[in-house]
Structures are given as C-alpha cells and as structure tokens.
Amino acid sequence: MANTDAAFGLVPFGTTDGSDYHGKIREVEFVTGDSVACFLGDAVKLTGTTGTDGFTPVVAQAAAGNSIVGVIVGFSPDFENESFINAGSNRLASTSRKAQVCFGSDVLYVAQEDSDSGALVAADAGKNIDVVVAAGSTVTGVSGMELDSSSALQASGQFRLHHVQNKLDNELGANAQWVVSINENQDDHGAGVA
C-alpha cells in the first residue's frame, strides 16, 4: 500500500538517548514585522533579539539551509483577534504572537519526505537533509514543511536522518515518514546569532 502524501511539518517523537520525550518547551515570540505566517510543526530560527518584555526570544520560520533552534508545538491564544477561528493553531503573517517551541538537538522528530526527485532509500539513514518550506493549512493550522529528499547527499544539512518511522501505513518509499534530529542547531556550541 502506498504511503499517504500529507505534509505535517515536524512532530516531536522521542529523544536520541532513548528516553521518553516529555513535552519540554520554551516560549518564544513572533513580531509584527515578520510577514511570514507560521504553523504547528514549522521549524524556527532565532533572530538575535528578544520581545519587548525581554523574556522571550524572537523567532522566525526557518528557510531551507537555515540553522534551527526548534519546532513549533503550540501557540498562545490570540485574544486580539476573536474572529480568527483557529486562534490556537497558527500565527497570521505580520502579527505579534507567542508560541511554544520544542528546543534541543537531542529531540527526535517525525517528518514526511517530499519524494520530488525520487524517494529516500535505506542507505540514506545517517545522512543530513534540509527541509523544503511550503505554506501550511489555514484550516487545520498544520505546517506544510517536508524533508527535501533531493538534499540527502549533503555533507551538512538541517536534520540528520535516523530511520523510517516504524508504524502501520508507513514504509520505505515515496512520502515515507522519517525519524530525524536537528543537525544544524542554534543552541549548540558555535557562532552566535548575528
């Protein structure tokens, strides 16, 4: 049976050391000057500043090739826009909004590959890969990000491929769901955000 083609971004799944993922998150902020709408499951990057309160780091949606700090797992309610039906599920472009992000290079995520130039193969496990960014759903609030299968040969990449997720209705081949971890992580040692 063929895998379903339904992008959902990245979803926390476990940890690289085998311990359970307990939903540890940090609050972040999007600012009104950011004109990109963001969705549950989007990878984000630090922008190098904090919100006006000084307590929350400001983030933006990560593009292919950007270093990543984490993945959006929730949004704070938007009480300023009561007509927005999906008030908890995504952030509208050019609006100030706080979100909850899963941080850390030790977290495992599940993501679908895009299979645009062929599907990933078993020998791709252990390689690095970038994401391809696509608009999320304004109906469900879910991300449109997928793993860019054509970038799996890179020496560097945003994510490390571990293995195909072992679950019903998922098999190696087109649109497979893979377990990945953040490879290019802004919280790891290295240069600061400029």
Kindly provide the b/e burial profile for residues 80-91, where b requires at least 16 CB atoms within 10 angstroms of the residue's own CB. Answer: eeeeeebbebbb
Assigned token pair, 66: 């950007």
Q: What is the pLDDT of residue 77?
A: 81
The model scores a pTM over 0.75: yes
Phi and psi at residue 149, in whole multiples of 5°?
-60, -30
Tell whether the model's pLDDT for residue 81 goes beyond 80: no
Domain ranges of the chain: 11-182
Which residue in this structure is represented by tokens 């540890």?
24
Tell whether the model's pLDDT for residue 26 goes beyond 90: yes
